[in-house]
Amino acid sequence: MKEWYVTLSDHKISLIPITKDHILQMRRLSSDSDIWTWYTEDLTDPDALEAWMIKRLEETQLESKMTYAVRLEDTGEIIGATSYGNIDWQEHGIEIGWTWLGKKYIGSGLNKRMKYLMLRHAFEVMEVERLELRTDEENIRSRKAMEKIGAKHDGTLRNHRSTQGGRRRNTVVYSIIKSEWSTIKETIFKDL
């Protein structure tokens, strides 16, 4: 097994590899359409979310993506998901994304913790050289969050993807490279 199949945790949250056992808890979170505004798929319907999870499990078997369930340590509750994807083992590159949280956890600071755990693992254990983050050009909240964790804007992929509403989105690409990680860890994440 690759070094990405592990649980990543601190005293507040754990990122645990998703299993079919997480489907029921995640289905309960999916009904709020605000969660999926910027997602390329509409996962409001619990059956759509379940199909999405089954696809993520298949991608894990193919080693093309690794999706984690986000678990609160104090309650054991599953509150969302996030993934590593677009892995390039030869060039030591990876992307973090496909992140969503239940509505009451949006803006709670848990996303920053999730990103810290994933960045630390990617740079310190997986020894990646470059880590990417991507979002819809119009998703200002996500773009600001990426900038707050030290990611640099690399550019925009024009007319890159279809959205759930049929609009073609421009995808903004950010990155963090290995030589930047120690400074980011010591400054931006020092309070975690």
pLDDT digits (tens, 9 = 90+) for 82-127: 999 998 989 999 999 999 999 999 989 999 999 999 999 999 999 9
User: What are the distances in angstroms from CA 28 to CA 37, 50, 60, 135, 163?
Assistant: 17, 11, 23, 25, 23
User: What are the distances in angstroms from CA 79 to CA 27, 44, 76, 97?
Assistant: 10, 15, 9, 16
Domain annotation for the chain: domains and CATH numbers: 8-187 (3.40.630.30)
User: What pTM was estimated for this model as a whole?
Assistant: 0.92
User: What are the distances in angstroms from CA 7 to CA 13, 16, 132, 145?
Assistant: 10, 5, 21, 23
Rg of the chain in Å (alpha carbons)? 16
Give me the helix-helix angle, 110-124 and 140-148, nearest 10°: 50
Cα–Cα distance for residue pair 87/93, rounded to 1 Å: 6
- When pLDDT is averaged across residues 70-77 and rounded to a whole number, the result is 95
pLDDT digits (tens, 9 = 90+) for 25-57: 888 888 888 888 888 888 888 888 889 889 988
pLDDT digits (tens, 9 = 90+) for 138-165: 999 999 999 999 999 999 999 999 988 8
